[in-house]
Amino acid sequence: MYEYKEEIVIEPEAPVKPAREAKPKKGFGFKRTIALVCLSVVLGAGTLGGGVGAGIMLTRHFLPEKTQTPGAEAWPVFSYGENDVNVVPMEVKLTSFSELVKDVAQSVVSINVTGTAQGLFGIAESQGAGSGFIYDIDEEYVYVATNNHVVAGMSSVNISLDDKETVEAKIVGLDSPSDLAVIAALKKDVDALGIPYKAAKLGDSSLLAMGDQVIAMGNSLGAGQIVTYGIISAVNKQVNVEGKKLDVMRTDAAINMGNSGGPLVNSNGEVIGINTVKFFGDGIEAMGYSIPINNAKEILEGLRVDGVIRKPYIGILKPQTVNESVMAQYNLPSTGVLVSGVDENSGAAEAGLEPWDLIVGLNGEKIASAEDLAAKISTAQVGDEVRLEVYRNNEKLELTVVLGMASGEE
């Protein structure tokens, strides 16, 4: 705290003896007063404070009424004091994520896989790398979440906590439609490494907004654990990957090959996404996508418990949307979904559904598109019966289909 207090005193002029006829003097005048103040500034540093102080006082108050006494004029005494000034230095807090990264790193694993592929000279082994994170631990196993495309079809899977020592893991469950998988290593094998580890904290991805800070962690390019920093660029997006539609969020944190399956972490150290895919090419930059953790939680638990996701399956192959334009062009009786093919081992085949049937309703509700049909089927359970309304050769039929279970490898 700085303190500054100064008192400025303007002394009254000496009385003037009256002449033969006492006449009141005119006031000193505003202009003359300013001139006097300016003169005091010129006279030297000794009067600088007084001159400036008087100038400020006079300009603020425009000279209050003067006091007159008989035969003389007197100016009142003014004092000017500056209020105490509190000087508070600005505090700038620079955020480091090093402690957060150290904590979360105890849940992140590097995944190395070996598979077989047909080569020019016969069957050959192929090597691959990915990432994952520990999301559950019980008395026997350490469970790791990752992407389906990282481990599906692999003959061996190993995980590492420090990019040096590895332990063997097994595939617990795969789900191709969501591109999620669960692998597990024996807890005693992981304990034997002597490296601290723990299950990651899972956050709430529904709370994310554009601009939120995030960190991507994983086995980037197979070179071991690497951390990149960025923000959430977009939420509630959908991308097509190898014929599958994934609900994702976008980040500008660098995601590269080997990052797949690794966690996207918020500034609280909570996993809010699973890094899955990156778009690249000319004119494309910083377009990485992650599966929101809220979308993954139920699937991961289903894979851990059952090894599969019990999703209902009707058995319609390549359904085609019939809109009003298509209806008019091919002289069809209604809009709806045209059946291109039927899985012969499905409930649809058993119910008598045939290729080129036109589905127009399900359980009494109109079906407008292939997406509409898929959405309604997804809300049912395996083993449920659904009633399809279809047109076949312009004749309306009703078929009852028992829903089967979708394979995780479809």
Q: Do 44 and 79 belong together in one domain?
A: yes
- The pLDDT assigned to 271 comes to 97
- Please measure the distance between the N-terminal and C-terminal CA atoms of the chain and give it in whole angstroms: 72
* pLDDT for 64: 47
Question: For residue 196, what pLDDT is reported?
Answer: 95
The answer to whether the Cα torsion of 235, 240, 245, 246 is positive or negative is negative
Range of the domain at 76: 1-92
Determine, yes or no, domain membership for 197.
Answer: no
Q: Verify that 383 and 321 share a domain, yes or no.
A: yes
Gap between the Cα atoms of 317 and 325, Å rounded:
22
Contact present, 396 and 390 (Cβ < 8 Å): yes
Q: Which of 92, 125, 146 is the last residue of a domain?
A: 92
Predicted confidence at residue 12, as pLDDT, reads 40
- Is residue 328, in this structure, part of any structural domain at all? yes
Looking at 92, 111, 139, the residue that finishes a domain is 92
73 shares a domain with 46: yes
Instruction: Return the pLDDT at 220.
Output: 81
- Asked whether residue 26 is assigned to any structural domain, the reply reads yes
For residue 272, what pLDDT is reported? 97
Are 336 and 388 in a shared domain? yes
Q: Are residues 155 and 218 in the same domain?
A: no
pLDDT score of 222: 75
Number of domains observed in the structure of the chain: 4
Task: Based on the fold, state whether residues 65 and 113 are members of the same structural domain.
Answer: no
Whether residues 158 and 227 fall in one domain: no
Which one of 110, 149, 205, 233 is the catalytic residue? 149
Q: From first to last of its 410 residues, what are the pLDDT tens digits of the chain?
A: 333 344 434 344 334 444 455 555 554 454 554 444 444 444 444 444 444 454 445 444 444 444 444 444 444 444 444 455 555 555 545 567 889 999 999 999 999 999 877 666 677 788 889 999 999 999 999 999 999 999 999 999 999 999 899 999 999 999 988 999 999 999 999 999 999 999 999 999 999 999 999 999 998 877 788 899 999 999 999 888 777 788 999 999 988 888 899 999 999 999 999 999 877 666 666 688 999 999 999 999 999 998 888 889 999 998 999 999 999 998 899 999 999 999 999 999 999 999 999 999 999 999 999 989 988 998 898 999 999 999 999 899 999 999 998 865 44
The catalytically annotated residue of 110, 175, 178, 179 is 179
Residue 160 in contact with residue 166, Cβ under 8 Å? yes
Where b means 16+ CB within 10 Å and e means fewer, 285-302 reads ebbbbbbbbbbbeebbbb
Q: The domain spanning residue 152 has which CATH number? A: 2.40.10.10
Helix H or strand E encompassing 143: strand 141-146
Query: Does one domain contain both 102 and 81?
Result: no
Is 40 part of any domain? yes
149 counts as catalytic: yes
Give the pLDDT confidence score for residue 285 in this predicted structure.
67
Per annotation, catalytic residue among 205, 260, 290, 346: 260
Q: Are 211 and 281 in the same domain?
A: yes
Told to judge if 191 belongs to the known catalytic residues of this protein, a careful annotator would answer: no
Pick the last residue of a domain from 92, 127, 161. 92
What does the block give as tokens for 210? 């554009």
- Domain assignment present for residue 410? The answer is no
* 114, 154 contact by CB (below 8 A): yes
Judge if 210 and 274 occupy the same domain.
yes
**186 and 108 in one domain?**
yes
pLDDT of residue 310: 82
Catalytic, 179? Answer yes
Give the orientation angle of helix 48-61 with respect to helix 30-42, to 10 degrees.
160
Nearest CA-CA partner of 175 in 309, 78, 26: 309
Tell me if residue 132 falls in helix, strand or coil: strand
